[in-house]
Amino acid sequence: MFLLEDEAAGAVYYDHGVQKDFFQVLKDNQFNYVRVPSLVEPTRVFSRGDLEQNVKILAKRAKAANMGLLVDFFYSDN
């Protein structure tokens, strides 16, 4: 989820001086999978209600880059 927060704050990513989508940078540098956490931190910018939507956004971007997807499920210990 941190990627979406960073991008919302204006972050952009470059590979050899060329601006690219972060997933494309990974793919171009031999990464085959991305790991997406499904965690909830109440202090983060994205709220609990956005969790499912954000995982879906990242999954679609991974698929568009022809990458595999690993979803990590984190449960609260409170």
- pTM of the complete model: 0.75
Residues 13-59 pLDDT 10s: 999 999 999 999 999 999 999 998 776 665 655 555 567 788 889 99
Burial group, residue 52, by CB count within 10 angstroms (0-12, 13-18, 19+) = exposed
14 contacts 22 by C-beta, under 8 angstroms: no
Query: Mean pLDDT over residues 2-18, rounded?
Result: 93
Give the separation between CA 30 and CA 78, rounded to whole angstroms: 38
DSSP run (H or E) holding 11: none
Q: Strand (E) positions, 1-78?
A: 13-15, 18-20, 33-38, 68-73
